Amino acid sequence: MKTIRVFTVAALLALVNPAASAAMQCGEPCHTLVREAHVLEGQDRYQEALDKYKAAEQADPLASLPLSLQAGLLFKLSSAAPKDKAGQVREMARALAERATTLASDDPIAHEVLRMLDDDGLSPLHTPNARAAKLLAEGAALFAQRKPQESRARYEAAMEADPKASSAWVGVGDSYFMVGDWARAERLFRRATEIEPKNAQAWRFLSDALLAQGQRAAAEAALYSSIAADPSQRPSWGKLARLRAAAGLPLKPLAFKRGARVAQGADGKFTINIDQATAEAKDTPNHAIRLMLAMSELNARQADTGNTRSPYDIELEAWRTALKVMDDIAASGGQSVSDPALLQMQALARDGQLEPAILLLMFRQPYRPAFEAWLAANPGGVKGFIDRYGLQP
């Protein structure tokens, strides 16, 4: 029997900040239906949970949350779907997540689904043993029902079941944070970062605990550590953006949408899949550069018959090729690219910053060796890049 990849509603909702856009949040009865769906998912009644999400969507058609949660559930189910159906389920999840971002561009759940659809790399975190994983799931479900003491008991049991599972410390800390015991929460979150320094959530929650105690500078420093642990986690960037905006140092989203993706089929062959929005913009310079980026990646992957090149090296080559075409078009006086994200990447490349731009703003787990090497060679590089360019993904 296949194991469904852990991606629960409780985990998704933990990404949502109270300051999330109004377009993301849904009112009653939408939110009631979401909570009911969560209970059904916890009982493995997935079709009923999906029906509840669809009902929530109908109750509040302008809210992105029901769409992004549907996308999350479908992504979760794709891991257990038959091989010939998994791709279709994943594409359904992608379409729902993309729709969610059209309603709320800052929906972190939708962005997390899209990230995981494009990033099959292994997490750097310890995989909890079976006993601890069960307790962690139970703790998350109880926490989502706002039962801090009950959830804490599960998380503490998970600590004992697997001392290497830093997420158990995060869970206990969060149960104390919920009731306003920020100092104790801080100690637990900090311990989680000591157990697993690559636990971005632990650093992010530590930042929350520090900020609640009025320690703004330390809270901001914890967010840079969170991004250094895993740049792909959008909530860390979102929290940092809010802190910096309050200090008059806002971050501008790169907001790059790839549009054309390279996929490998069951037969081992590579193909280019073009998203609908990109296809509708064909015969434009923006479309041409996206297609060139995908074609360059496809050519590099096809040429790497011995699998000797890293995914990051291939990505870097693809960007260099696409951006050279942009430069050539500009030099020849041809029709200019207008997409702000492509123009920003062109400017970063001209400034000698293409590598950190990819590693920080487009991070995927397979890029981790290159990212770790960059961090080692550039102490303080995360903050330095952000201070210099004022960018977030």
Model confidence pLDDT, tens digit, residues 95-109 = 899 899 888 877 878
Would you state the pLDDT for residue 308? 93
pLDDT along the chain (393 residues), means of 10: 40 46 69 86 86 94 92 90 85 90 83 80 90 92 84 96 96 95 97 97 97 97 98 92 96 91 85 78 85 94 92 96 92 86 97 98 95 97 98 96
Q: Are strands 260-264 and 391-392 parallel, antiparallel or unpaired?
A: unpaired
Residues 6+ positions from 116 with CB-CB distance below 8 Å: 7, 75
Would you state the pLDDT for residue 27? 82
How many whole angstroms separate alpha carbon 384 and alpha carbon 348? 14
Would you state the pLDDT for residue 39? 78
Phi–psi pair at 271, nearest 5 degrees: -135, 160
Would you state the pLDDT for residue 5? 37
How many whole angstroms separate alpha carbon 62 and alpha carbon 267? 40
Tokens of 100: 């969610």
Could you tell me if 63 and 44 lie in one domain? yes
Host H or E run for residue 392: strand 391-392
Domain-embedded: residue 224: yes
Contact between 206 and 193 (Cβ < 8 Å): yes
* Domain termination residue (choose one: 77, 95, 118): 118
Would you state the pLDDT for residue 128? 96
Residues 6+ positions from 364 with CB-CB distance below 8 Å: 118, 119, 121, 232, 311
Could you tell me if 241 and 348 lie in one domain? no
Task: Write down the residue that tokens 């689904």 correspond to.
Answer: 113
Would you state the pLDDT for residue 278? 67
Could you tell me if 172 and 196 lie in one domain? yes
* Domain termination residue (choose one: 79, 94, 118): 118
Could you tell me if 264 and 386 lie in one domain? yes
Could you tell me if 149 and 190 lie in one domain? yes
Would you state the pLDDT for residue 355? 98
Phi–psi pair at 19, nearest 5 degrees: -85, 10
How many whole angstroms separate alpha carbon 45 and alpha carbon 256? 36
Could you tell me if 245 and 134 lie in one domain? yes
Question: Which DSSP symbol is given to 125?
Answer: S
Could you tell me if 278 and 227 lie in one domain? no
Largest CA distance in the chain: 67
* Domain termination residue (choose one: 230, 250, 270): 250
Would you state the pLDDT for residue 279? 66
Q: How many domains does the chain have?
A: 3
Domain-embedded: residue 379: yes
Could you tell me if 146 and 76 lie in one domain? no
Domain that holds residue 315: 260-392
Segments in 196-284 forming alpha helices (H): 200-212, 216-229, 234-246, 276-279
Would you state the pLDDT for residue 335? 77
Could you tell me if 288 and 365 lie in one domain? yes
Could you tell me if 383 and 296 lie in one domain? yes
Could you tell me if 163 and 238 lie in one domain? yes
How many whole angstroms separate alpha carbon 65 and alpha carbon 20? 11
How many whole angstroms separate alpha carbon 29 and alpha carbon 33? 6
Domain-embedded: residue 2: no
Answer yes or no: pTM beyond 0.75.
yes
Would you state the pLDDT for residue 8? 46
Would you state the pLDDT for residue 20? 44
Could you tell me if 344 and 369 lie in one domain? yes
